[in-house]
Amino acid sequence: MSKVRKLQEGSVFDYVFFCDGCGCAHGIRSQNWIAPGNLSEDDKKWIDGRWTFNSDLEKPTISPSIHVWDFQKDANGKIVSRTTKCHSFVTEGKIQYLGDCNHPLANQTVDLPEF
């Protein structure tokens, strides 16, 4: 089983991995990602960056860091702010959680789990 999964074309991300700190998947958009046509303009402004990925599903290296946000929305569903939820580097199959994570694995490096 791999540590990174490839998603179908048209997804908001093209690769995902499981984050033990958050207990959920995190996604990246590689250099080859094609944006889905159904994104709103408001959503597009929060989707930033593309990552390099070594294409190794067992010992992935992703660059730059992966910064996952919590979004606050107003009563109409419009995003009004974001705060850090998780911030990490993935290098050769290990995930290094940075100090600004808001979970117990902050400041630790662990093996990326199988996904």
Tens of pLDDT, residues 103-114? 999 999 999 999
Q: What is the distance, to the nearest Å, from the Cα of residue 50 to the centroid of all Cα atoms in its chain?
A: 11
SS3 44: helix
Strand partners, 17: 4, 26
> Which domain range does residue 76 map to?
4-111
Question: How many residues make up the chain in this entry?
Answer: 115
pTM for the predicted model, two decimal places = 0.78
Number of domains forming the structure of the chain: 1
Between 82 and 18, the higher pLDDT residue: 18
Cis peptide before 64 (omega within 30 of 0): yes
